[in-house]
Structure 1
């Protein structure tokens, strides 16, 4: 692969927002975790006019008040595919919004960008504090994020933030979602769309549009995903 093509691949990979990882379809994190001995799978495709990103992110709570998640993406562009991002993170909640009018948690993880010529290893640390509020009903939610990300390639620290909402529509299994998220050194992304809940037992699907104001073609894309939960998955 030529240097110019490698750089193009890296820029496309970095354009896809992937530092904060929450429940589909939101990027902004929430103050909930899986119950003990439960697992889930989140998988989605981000399609822009330049590239297609395929993500898979399984997670499990093996017991107690802690959830582990592993995620990776493969980018396809110019007829070729390559692993472009990967992360491992752990998450806990001090107060869960599932059981209270508000909740707060902590997510800590590490990310890598394999397409970088340097600093391509597991050396991009991040930490997120998600705060969630019920807006008059347990399933109508507002999420706020504040966090930190260490960009190892640029040798600098970034401030992460996000604001998101979820609002189910009456009478149909559809939840409208929206968010704005980003970091202090660049313009934010926004997302709008919806998720169809309980398509089958413990299965949700979603469709959203993501863009950055004034962004490039690779920073405007459609995202299609699914969420599947497996209860009592671990011994």
Structure 2
């Protein structure tokens, strides 16, 4: 009896994890936890990556972003889940409230919404961001909330630290949502040229191994 009742819960757990990833998907690669910085005015970037997500979902994502003015970054993403044969899209705006500090902290806020094709309703989300820079690297803190169609609002959180080491930048991070097991992840990025970045992550969520590999082109 217990196995029958538990089985329907698996898709809901996978969906909850997927919605969390969507809510944080537009963070700068390879981080999932977002930073409180934006591109310079008049510049932008395009990120593309493959990821193995919770539920053994194989996904491909393309995420462009552009800053039309100082402190404002507009972003979008399209994710194709080849395992579930579904496509999700999101739009968001990041406002950097205080200037970035080389030695100190600044904050920002993200407002956005995601939607899966052929499903009714959208998932709006809000995320408060804090970044603190020091000689030891950069620490990022996220606190937010999201609301799936027909469901209650759910709190989200994230904590990350990144540091340059020679030609590469490494990071460790943890993120999750209320009443769900967190994801722990490590990652690295390297500039192949002044405007081209190669990155990758390796993580774990509820005994499942996660990974991703991607590219970022700045313009």
TM-score when normalising by structure 1: 0.80
Residue 14 of structure 1: how far off its partner (Å): 5.0
Aligned residues: 207
Pairing 1:130–2:129 present: yes
Pairing 1:163–2:159 present: yes
Partner residue of 1:185 out of 173, 179, 182? 179
Please report the RMSD computed on the Cα atoms of aligned residues, expressed in angstroms. Answer: 2.3
Counterparts in 2 of 1:1-12, with a 5 A limit? none
Counterparts in 2 of 1:142-221, with a 5 A limit? 142-153=139-150, 155-169=151-165, 172-196=166-190, 198-215=191-208, 220-221=209-210
> For the residues of structure 2 that align with 1:44 and 1:227, how far apart are their CA atoms?
9
Residue 69 of structure 1: how far off its partner (Å): 0.3
- List structure 1 runs of 4+ shifted beyond 4 angstroms: 7-14
The match for 2:5 is none
Residue 95 of structure 1: how far off its partner (Å): 1.6
Which segment is superposed worse, 205-214 or 8-17? 8-17
Does structure 1 retain, via aligned residues, the 8 Å contact 2:103–2:134? no
The match for 1:3 is none
> For the residues of structure 2 that align with 1:9 and 1:201, how far apart are their CA atoms?
42
Which digits, 9 at most, give the CA deviation of each residue in 1:106-129, with x for residues without a partner? 10001112254xxx33x2111111
Partner residue of 2:95 out of 92, 105, 108? 92
Secondary structure of 1:18's aligned partner: helix
Residue 183 of structure 1: how far off its partner (Å): 0.7
> For the residues of structure 2 that align with 1:113 and 1:11, how far apart are their CA atoms?
16
> For the residues of structure 2 that align with 1:82 and 1:152, how far apart are their CA atoms?
17
Residues 10 and 87 from structure 1, CA distance in 2 versus in 1: closer, same or farther, beyond 3 angstroms? farther
Residue segments in structure 2 that go unaligned for 5+ positions in a row: 1-8
Does structure 2 retain, via aligned residues, the 8 Å contact 1:56–1:72? yes
Residue 70 of structure 1: how far off its partner (Å): 0.7
Pairing 1:113–2:116 present: yes
Residue 8 of structure 1: how far off its partner (Å): 8.7
Secondary structure of 1:105's aligned partner: strand
Does structure 2 retain, via aligned residues, the 8 Å contact 1:9–1:115? no
Residue segments in structure 1 that go unaligned for 5+ positions in a row: 1-6, 231-235
